[in-house]
Amino acid sequence: MNVHSGGRPSDPAERRARQVARNRRVRAAVARLADPRPVRLEPRAETDTVVRDGLRRTRLLFDHDGRAGVRAVLLGPDTPDPLPAVLVCPGRNARLDAVTGGEPPDYPDRDVAVHLARAGLRTLTLDYGLDRAHAAVADQGRDPATVLDGELRLHGRSLLGVLVDEARAALAWLADRPGTTRVGLAGHSLGAAVALHAALLHDAPVPVCAASHLGGYATLFGRLATWDQFAALPSVLRHADLPDLYAALAPAPLQLQYGLDDRLLDPDDAAAAGKRVRDDYAAAGAEAEVLALPMGHGTGTAEAAAFLTRALAEPAPPPPPVPPARVAFSVTDRLAVTDLVDGALASGALTLGPVGAGLEEAATGVLGRGTAVVSSGSAALEIALRIVGVAGRTVLVPANTFFATAASAVRAGARVQAVDMELDGLGMDPAALRAALDAHGDTAAVLPVHIAGVVSPALPEILALCAERGVPVVEDAAHALGSTLGGAPAGTFGRLATFSLYPTKVITAGEGGLLSADGDDLDRARRLRDHGKRSFTENLHADLGSNWRMSELHAAVGTVHLARLDAVLAERRRLAAWYDAHLADVPGLTRYTVPDGVATNHYKYLAFLPEGVDRADLKRRLRARGVGLSGEIYDTLIPEQPYFAATLSGAAVPNAAWFASRHVCLPVLPGMTEHEQRRVVEALRAELA
């Protein structure tokens, strides 16, 4: 690698990639430290509206779960919409009326919202309410805001985090307001910190003007000691300094202002910090403005108005692509995982410990049946087949399944044969299974797969056919955690059942799997996962197992995610219901209808293309429109896999062949918005018209 002195890569593309990756890490760290909570501002009332000197000023009251009676002022030119809008985040000691023109400014350029409104921008300014927080302690000579910040820190939060939650909610309200074209942020002093962090946590780039909050944290809070502790997030220097936070806003338009006569900043330190921001912005392929102005601890309102007017007049950047898959853990869940991992690291028990045992207990509660945690869904399948005893015999698998279903049988010593599917419930076709059982009298096990999370209504017939012949059934429920048939959970129908906890699954442990069984089967599964040892404390091996253990670190992820199963299922079912209601007018597309009696987890949302549509080409054209379709289930049948081609090619599986060639999977993503779903449907409609 070519590098400059100091180890910085000289290649612009590599520098950009590194800077973008660093910015992503900084944003993730900010999310952890801020611990953002979902806040939705509900307007209670407009208390009055006054038009004066060409500006319309409306007082508002908002409520949200954490606070009632949040005072705010909406200020802008008395002209018709649409207009760009700016959330104004004032300094700590600013009064709402002074910022928004309700009274004369008590400090030069304090009336920031007025200057922005006169430049043609709609502004919203919230009252932080810090003078009323713990107001009783003011009589004791104590600062109410400092007391509140201390109380919040006892619970792992901070005053800055709470203010940022309200700012993000206000920005969302402003963006959703009819007549708003684009939104931006302007902040001064503490308000600049609020604006910065709100922009870092916002779901799309927004222009930011930050005044009188620039330098290195060590200087601002250490050498100068001029800043209250709640102007920064706790422990932030473990991850990033203030210039790194500003740089992480790239490529959003950014203007930083500092005063050459500001007694709360060191101009040299601010200049050095500004240079770092400019350099890092440039590395990310963007540009940041840094202005040294002849002022004290204030705002250059003319410069701010010109910057925001210019930035908000630009076309909005295209929305990020709708990805085919997304793994999302809330900050609360990430902190919970961190706590469990920390406990495991502190104890030294890194495998087969209390966290894994807790995950097994939680999974047992979901299924009503004993479970063992293992290293993967594939490991669970092989363990189950070794317990059944399939070596040297035939295992029947669906033609339409993932390679691991058949490969696990081979690793367990079996031969495999493929069985056609039925299209209503996406399971094994009972007639095809009966024929396969008749043809293969040495069948040792049947592996039905719950494709897309659908437990087929034909499964009872499959179970009956196998019971007639004394053939064990092992459910491959890799897709189906949380799905039911007739109210009974997937994974409780066969002698044994297996689940995958791979990252794309409804519930994940990062890597891992679950095996569901009863009695001796469960005991043996737990031995086999640990090289067949009779117990964890004995070096005596009663079975030929392998290292199929799940680490405590993976179990921590699975434990936290499984606890959210009900919420995850509710979200996925809501997303699926939206698609159900909005796909009817997409030309030629036929959505898959879930059979009666089935409650699916909607691991995949299936639809079928018109005959003659080239799926690969359609997916390419959709990607060009910013929409990614999820991976098929599956586009290559087991008999067509190169490994099995010599032994299984030519198998008669017409239903599976039709399904494999005609279906698509629409994205059903954690945190997916209606706007993202609408983009999917509109892109499909445009390409299939």
Kindly state whether residue 324 falls inside one of the protein's structural domains: no
pLDDT for 155: 85
Closest of 349, 355, 407, 400 to residue 376, by C-alpha: 407
For residues 565 and 575, give the distance between their C-alpha atoms in angstroms, rounded to a whole number: 15
Q: CA 142, CA 140: separation in Å to the nearest integer?
A: 6
Q: Are residues 460 and 599 in the same domain?
A: no
* Amino acid, single-letter form, for residue 265: L
Q: Lowest-pLDDT range, 103-117, 165-179, 643-657?
A: 643-657
In a domain, 438, yes or no: yes
pLDDT of residue 161: 94
Do 623 and 488 share a structural domain? no
Domain membership flag for residue 323: no
Question: Percent of the chain at pLDDT above 70?
Answer: 97
Q: Which two tokens stand for residue 146?
A: 């400092």
Residue 139 has pLDDT above 60, yes or no: no
Residues 586, 666 within the same domain = yes
CA–CA dist 42, 285 (Å, integer)? 38
- Do both 162 and 296 map to the same domain? yes
Residue that is last in its domain, among 284, 313, 342: 313
Query: 341 to each of 4, 157, 158, 351, 552, how far by Cα in Å?
Result: 38, 21, 24, 11, 7
Contacts of 318 (CB under 8 A, 6+ apart): 626
> Looking at 189-331, which runs of residues are DSSP E strands?
208-211, 254-259, 288-293
| pLDDT tens-place string over residues 477-504 | 999 999 999 999 999 999 999 999 999 9
**One domain, residues 241 and 138:** yes
Structure tokens at 326: 């997304």
Q: Dihedral angle at the C-alpha atoms of 666, 669, 672, 676, nearest 10 degrees? A: -30
Domain range for 670 is 566-688
Q: What is the 3-state secondary structure (H, E, C) of 491-523?
A: CCCCCEEEEECCCCCCCCCCCCEEEECCHHHHH
Q: Do both 194 and 89 map to the same domain?
A: yes
CATH number for the domain including 370?
Answer: 3.40.640.10
Q: What is the pLDDT of residue 349?
A: 94
> Would 7 be classed as within a structural domain?
no
Q: Where residue 2 falls among pLDDT bands split at 50, 70, 90?
A: very low
Residue 149 lies in a domain: yes
**317, 205 in Cβ contact below 8 A?**
yes
Tens-digit pLDDT profile for residues 145-161: 888 888 888 888 899 99
Q: Which two tokens stand for residue 219?
A: 């200087």
Tell me what pLDDT residue 26 has: 96
CA dihedral of residues 681, 424, 614, 644 (deg, nearest 10): 130
Domain final position from 282, 313, 344: 313
Min mean pLDDT across 41-45, 160-164, 192-196, 273-277 is at 41-45
65 pLDDT more than 80: yes
How far apart CA 297 and CA 267 sit, in angstroms, is 11
Q: How far is CA 342 from CA 338, 347, 348, 355, 357, in A?
A: 6, 9, 10, 11, 17
Same domain, 641 and 677: yes
Residue 431 makes CB contacts below 8 A (sequence gap 6+) with none
CATH of the domain at 592: 3.90.1150.10
What is the distance between the alpha carbons of residues 389 and 636, in angstroms, rounded to a whole number? 28
**Domain limit, last residue, from 564, 589, 612:** 564
Q: What is the mean pLDDT of the chain?
A: 93
- Per DSSP, the three-state class of 45 is strand
- Is there a domain that residue 320 lies in? no
- Digit-coded pLDDT (tens) for 209-258: 999 999 999 999 999 998 988 899 999 999 999 999 999 999 999 999 99
- Tell me if 326 is assigned to some domain: no
Give 587-597 pLDDT, tens digit per residue.
Answer: 999 999 999 99
User: Do 128 and 230 share a domain, yes or no?
Assistant: yes
Give the pLDDT confidence of 425-451 residue by residue, as tens digits: 999 999 999 999 999 999 999 999 999
CA-closest candidate to residue 496, choices 395, 615, 372: 372
Q: For residues 541 and 574, state if they share a domain.
A: no
Q: β-strand 394-398 against 415-419: which pairing, if any? A: parallel
Domain membership flag for residue 103: yes
Beta pairing, strands 598-599 & 484-485: antiparallel
Using omega within 30 degrees of 0 as the cis cutoff, is the peptide bond preceding 634 cis?
A: yes
pTM of the predicted model, to two decimals? 0.86
Into how many domains does the chain fold? Answer: 3
The predicted structure's pLDDT at residue 9: 63
Beta bridge partners of 530: 547
**CATH number of the domain residue 44 falls in:** 3.40.50.1820
Reduced to 3 states, what is the DSSP secondary structure of residue 600? coil
Contact 379, 386 (CB under 8 A): no
User: What is the mean pLDDT of the segment spanning 341-364?
Assistant: 96
Shared domain for 520 and 570, answered yes or no, is no
For 278-284, what is the mean pLDDT?
Answer: 96
Q: Which residues, in sequence order, are CB contacts of 635 under 8 Å at separation 6+?
A: 615, 660, 661
Q: Which residues lie across from 187 on neighbouring strands? A: 89, 210
Going by C-beta distance under 8 Å and a sequence separation of 6 or more, which residues neighbour residue 511? 375, 376, 501, 502, 503, 554
Distance between CA atoms of 453 and 662, rounded to whole angstroms? 19
Rounded Cα gap, residues 578 and 598, in angstroms: 18
Q: What is the C-alpha to C-alpha distance for residues 340 and 509, in angstroms, rounded to an integer?
A: 13
pLDDT at 480: 98
Cα maximum dimension of the chain: 93
With CA atoms as reference, report the closest residue to 447 among 425, 464, 466: 466
Whether residue 293 has pLDDT greater than 80: yes
* 670 and 652 within one domain: yes
Q: What are the DSSP calls for 22-36, one per residue?
A: HHHHHHHHHHHHH--
- What pairs with residue 606 in β-bridges? 665
The pair of structure tokens assigned to 256 is: 């930083």
Residue 230, both tokens: 């709640």
Assess whether 509 and 591 both reside in one domain: no
Range with the lowest mean pLDDT among 296-305, 309-318, 468-477, 593-602?
A: 309-318
| 447 neighbors 410 (Cβ within 8 angstroms) | no
At 127, list the tokens: 């009252």
- 418 beta partners: 397
CA distances from 17 to 20, 30, 254, 321, 575 (A): 5, 20, 20, 18, 33
CB 70 within 8 A of CB 162: no
